[in-house]
């Protein structure tokens, strides 16, 4: 007898991310301030691509704005690269030089 369970897409993604984190080393993501990218755009990118809540996104954006660079979050290496790539792509579409970097945690 074979049992087939359908698993919600969000559950599958959470399981995949959990597995990646146990296999891959963690990487910290940082956002860098620039004089061109609008403040509100940075907040939106942090909300959309890095799953920060509104308060966290605002605090990270403010820290980058005042300090030049700010810690965003920690992800498995592949996940960090994927999220940074999406953020860079979104910024490039709007003509902004917004920059994120990653480094081993």
Query: Domain boundaries in the chain?
Result: 9-104
In terms of pLDDT, which residue wins out, 11 or 81? Answer: 81
Query: How many C-beta atoms lie closer than 10 Å to residue 76's C-beta?
Result: 20
6 confidence band (pLDDT: 50, 70, 90): low
SS3 letters across the chain: CCCCCCCCHHHHHHHHHHHHHHHCCEEEEEEECCCCCCHHHHHHHHHHHHCCCHHHHHHHHHHHHHHCEEEEEEEEHHHHHHHHHHHHHHHHHHCCCCEEEEEEC
Q: Which of 30, 18, 32, 31 is nearest to 76 (CA)?
A: 18
pLDDT digits (tens, 9 = 90+) for 24-74: 999 999 999 999 999 999 999 999 999 999 999 999 999 999 999 999 999
Burial-class residue 63 by CB neighbours within 10 Å (0-12, 13-18, 19+): middle
Q: Which fold has domain 9-104?
A: Ribosomal Protein L30; Chain: A, (3.30.1390)
pLDDT digit string, tens, across residues 82-98: 999 999 999 999 999 99
CA dihedral 42, 73, 50, 30 (to 10 degrees): 40
Q: What is the pTM of this model?
A: 0.79
């Amino acid at each position: 007898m074979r049992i087939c369970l359908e698993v919600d897409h969000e559950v599958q993604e959470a399981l995949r991310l959990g597995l990646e984190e146990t296999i891959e080393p963690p990487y910290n993501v940082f956002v860098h301030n620039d004089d061109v990218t609008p403040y509100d755009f940075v907040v939106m990118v942090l909300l959309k691509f890095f799953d920060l809540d509104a308060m966290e996104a605002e605090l990270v954006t403010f820290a980058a704005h005042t300090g030049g660079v700010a810690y965003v979050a920690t992800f498995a290496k592949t996940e960090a690269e994927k999220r940074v790539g999406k953020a860079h792509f979104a910024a490039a579409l709007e003509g902004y030089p917004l920059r994120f970097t990653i480094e081993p945690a």
